[in-house]
A = this chain, B = another copy of it.
């Protein structure tokens, strides 16, 4: 069974982060909420406090098939300031494993040279940070093993695209129908 790590720093955008957790768990994917703040509860950008499954130091990175970075301007600053996470991200990229980021978070991938020559998207005001990318209007882009998406309003597209990676497009389409999402 595939396993996904979603990384939460103070100021994370709640819906961007939690829609991934919700949809991936519905699809039977093991999905861990990992705190990057040092605390077991992390406060989102709209004052919603969520209990984590793991502290960063407890996370088993060997076991993850994908790292997911949610948005939220402050949350993304805090993710990028976590050198241990950035090191893991670089290792994942070098190993050709999946990395996903939404909203402001694709800027982190841009800063680390992971988007060069790839199609990618982000929150409009962060597009200048997608260094070397062919910037699209999304709602999601999967290029190689790098998945990006635009904002809180594309959270469900992002989560369903992750589901499609591990469970196939048919299962993702069935999930979209099950949750009454008529967009895809």
Contacts and interface: CB of A to CB of B under 8 A. Distances in A.
Contacts of A41: 51
Interface residues of A, number: 33
Q: How many copies does the complex hold?
A: 2
Specify which of A18, A123, A150, A176 lies most central, judged by the most chain B CB atoms within 10 Å of its CB. A18
A139 B19 CA distance: 18
A55 B127 CA distance: 42
A150 B48 contact: no
Interface in A129-161: 138-139, 150-154, 156
Interface of A: 13-15, 18-19, 21-22, 25-26, 33, 41, 46-51, 123-124, 138-139, 150-154, 156, 176, 179-183
